[in-house]
Amino acid sequence: MPTAYITRRERFSAAHRLFNPELSDEQNRAIYGECSNDNWHGHNFELLVTVRGPVNPQIGYVVNLKVISQIIRERVISKLDHRNINLDVDFMRGQIPSTENLAVAIWAQLDAPMRDIGVELHCVRVQETENNYVEYFGD
Ligand code: NI
């Protein structure tokens, strides 16, 4: 059976502030600039989740994308959408809410549930702005 990669896009809006509490305000400002402003800022994020698996010859699908969407919504979007990533999101607690850390943490949320339905997570892509995105492949 051929292997195919399929991708589902979801979206969420969330606030954050890039800030390392172990560094001084001055150091935080030097590293993160406006992203470290005291009173948060927000983004309309896009999340693209790619899974791979064999194409089922009877159905023609790797997996029904509705199932993928449901898992992403339950495990990730419902926890992030219209939230403050620094304060509200259990799987980001104690982490600097950079796009990199977000991609790695989202991977951890999705890895096991994707295996449970017989596909493998291939890539988590978090698009923070039109110009910036991060991809994580599980390394
Ligand atoms: Ni930001």
- pLDDT at 90 (0 to 100): 98
Active-site choice (26, 46, 128, 130): 128
Residue ranges of E strands in 17-94: 41-54, 83-84
Give the separation between CA 46 and CA 129, rounded to whole angstroms: 8
Mean pLDDT across the stretch 62-89?
Answer: 98
Active-site choice (22, 34, 35, 43): 35
Q: Is the pTM here over 0.85, yes or no? A: yes
Active site residue 16: no
User: Which residues have their alpha-adjacent CB atom under 5 A from ion ligand 1?
Assistant: 35
Closest CA to 85 of 106, 100, 102: 102
- pLDDT at 28 (0 to 100): 96
